[in-house]
């Protein structure tokens, strides 16, 4: 049985994906250290944890919107610049749940938690795009260059 993209988004659980382990720093970590951790892993975000739970997320967007312009004291705690109490998804949530959360709120990264509420990874918009491209190459390859574009004749006709 072949799944459609819509069916896959409803059925595929986040826990079944190969999502990278989230980079995490403890609350109170100096901003400079959090930035180095982010840079070293090539990540777009760092989770900030307190007591084994997610207290916040510090993203590339936070860097751009909260650190520029002006001088920044890298010894200040990352807590002052993070987004506190981010929305999270469980590993049992599906790809559609992640896509919906990203679309509705403009998120690029969503922290994932295990059944006990502890950090279990992070899913990024690019992870969803890669999943769709890998599992549905024909559908992706046949998309028009612009979403509202309609072809007058079939390609290759």
Tell me if 127 is assigned to some domain.
yes
C-alpha distances in angstroms, 74 versus 20, 27, 67?
27, 14, 10
Residue 144: pLDDT over 70: no
Q: How confident is the model at residue 132 (pLDDT cuts 50, 70, 90)?
A: confident
Tell me if 83 is assigned to some domain.
yes
pLDDT of amino acid 142? 61
Calculate what percentage of the chain has a pLDDT beyond 90.
62
Tell me if 154 is assigned to some domain.
no
pLDDT of amino acid 3? 80
Assign residue 91 the CATH number of its domain: 3.10.580.10
pLDDT of amino acid 156? 57
pLDDT of amino acid 146? 62
With vertex at residue 123, the alpha carbon angle to CA 29 and CA 85, rounded to the nearest 5 degrees, is: 45
In the numeric block, which tokens belong to residue 6?
A: 């819509």
Task: For the beta carbon of residue 89, count every other beta carbon within 10 angstroms.
Answer: 19
Q: What is the pLDDT of residues 21-70, one digit of tens each?
A: 889 999 999 999 999 999 988 879 999 999 999 999 999 999 999 888 77
Q: Which residues constitute the domain of residue 83?
A: 5-141
């Amino acid at each position: 049985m072949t799944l459609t993209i819509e069916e896959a988004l409803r059925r595929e659980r986040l826990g079944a994906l190969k999502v990278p382990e989230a980079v995490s720093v403890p609350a109170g970590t100096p901003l400079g250290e959090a930035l180095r951790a982010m840079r070293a892993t090539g990540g777009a975000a760092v989770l900030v944890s307190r007591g084994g739970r997610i207290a916040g997320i510090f993203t590339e967007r936070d860097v751009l919107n909260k650190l520029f312009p002006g001088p920044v004291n890298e010894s200040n705690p990352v807590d002052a610049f993070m987004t506190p109490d981010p929305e999270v998804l469980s590993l049992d949530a599906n790809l559609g749940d992640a896509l919906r959360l990203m679309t509705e709120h403009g998120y690029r990264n969503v922290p994932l938690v295990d059944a006990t509420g502890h950090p279990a990874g992070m899913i990024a918009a690019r992870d969803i795009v890669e999943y769709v491209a890998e599992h549905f190459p024909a559908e992706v390859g046949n998309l028009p260059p612009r979403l509202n574009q309609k072809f007058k004749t079939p390609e290759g006709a």
